Amino acid sequence: MSFDYNNIFKEIFLQIEQTQDRGKIADYIPELGGVDPNKFGVHLISIDGRHYSFGDSDELFSIQSIAKVLTLSLAYKLENQKLWKRVGVEPSGNPFNSLVQLEYDEGVPRNPFINAGALVISDMLISLLEYPKQEFIEFVRKLSNNNKIDYCSRIAQSEKEVGYRNAALVNLMKSFGNIDNEVDDVLDFYFNLCSIRMTNKDLAQTFMYLANNGIEPISGERILSLSKTKRINAIMQTCGFYDEAGEFSFKVGLPGKSGVGGGIVALLPNKYCIATWSPKLNKKGNSFKGMKFLELFTTKTELSIF
């Protein structure tokens, strides 16, 4: 079955425009507070390489926590099953930056997508790579097929200036022996990975390897094995949306990941990858319009994993 995705995007956007956007920009990170709250973009890439877009899909935005899937992919590729000795795969059931849960779990984060888990993955990559920041951004550029993608020093610095809880998380894990490198080095890597800026098109292209059985479709290079691809998609399904992962699975039915920059990327294996961007966040920290859009999209197309 084929769809006129561009027309579907317009129909859904008009529908969600009639509902009140109750979201709020993530202004606790100063550099994100100045983004135009009315922006909205979407881009879909089908498994056969066709592109469909709507709205502000070519504007750069900070992908924030979406980058955690990419650090996990690279660490899993390099570290194999040893990775899971230091981080779990369960939904957290608590806020993504909870110190209480981390203390209870003796410094082992529940999953790689909460802040503590991403900090452990960052620590692993610092140990595994000779030039961690450079090698990681090169990995992202290869996945996105865009050599211009880079860190944003302004956003990284802005996050560093207010990153007290992240500093507390990494120090707590260091006290339990689950951080090997210097705390400042781990935080610097983490703040930089969250600062990466992409367009919806970039983001959808970057995640196509997870929709294509671990193979980057343009180059044909295998990024991850089938088994590892399945497992990362499973963690996105259960842990990709903070405390709203169950709601996203229930209403949308796709593996995906959100970020507080307002971006969401989701995919249907062997079918497509879709990325949305709308800066206003709901109370759970996910894009208000993005969540609504993807719910209506999978309802209208009947294309989800369920």
Q: How would you class 85 by CB atoms within 10 Å of its CB: exposed for 0-12, middle for 13-18, buried for 19 or more?
A: exposed
Q: pLDDT per residue over 62-90, tens digit each? A: 999 999 999 999 999 999 999 999 999 99
**Which residues have CB under 8 Å from 259's CB, separation 6+?**
62, 63, 64, 65, 66, 67, 194
- On whether both 50 and 93 belong to a single domain, the answer is no
pLDDT of residue 19: 79
φ, ψ for residue 155 (rounded to 5)? -70, -40
- Neighbouring CB atoms inside 10 A of 33's CB total 13
pLDDT of residue 1: 60
In a domain, 225, yes or no: yes
Write out the chain in H/E/C secondary structure: CCCCHHHHHHHHHHHHHCCCCCCECCCCCHHHCCCCCCCCEEEEEECCCCEEEEECCCCCEECHHHHHHHHHHHHHHHHHHHHHHCCCCCCCCCCCCCHHHHHHCCCCCCCCCCHHHHHHHHHHHHHHCCCHHHHHHHHHHHHHCCCCCCCCHHHHHHHHHCCHHHHHHHHHHHHCCCCCCCHHHHHHHHHHHHHCEECHHHHHHHCHHHHCCCECCCCCCECCCHHHHHHHHHHHHHHCCHHHHHHHHHHCCCCEEECCCCEEEEEECCCEEEEEECCCECCCCCEHHHHHHHHHHHHHHCCCCC
Residue finishing a domain among 179, 195, 211: 195
pLDDT of residue 92: 81
- On whether both 57 and 69 belong to a single domain, the answer is no
pLDDT of residue 291: 97
Could you tell me the CATH number of the domain that includes residue 210?
Answer: 3.40.710.10
Domain count, the chain: 2
In a domain, 305, yes or no: no
- On whether both 154 and 237 belong to a single domain, the answer is no
- On whether both 265 and 215 belong to a single domain, the answer is yes
Q: Show the domain range for 207.
A: 5-64+198-300
Q: Which positions are catalytic?
A: 65, 68, 190, 242, 260
- On whether both 149 and 187 belong to a single domain, the answer is yes
In a domain, 265, yes or no: yes
- On whether both 69 and 149 belong to a single domain, the answer is yes
Q: Which residue ranges of the chain lie beneath pLDDT 50?
A: none
- Neighbouring CB atoms inside 10 A of 51's CB total 14
pLDDT of residue 20: 75
Q: What is the dihedral of CA 12, 13, 17, 21, to 10 degrees?
A: 100
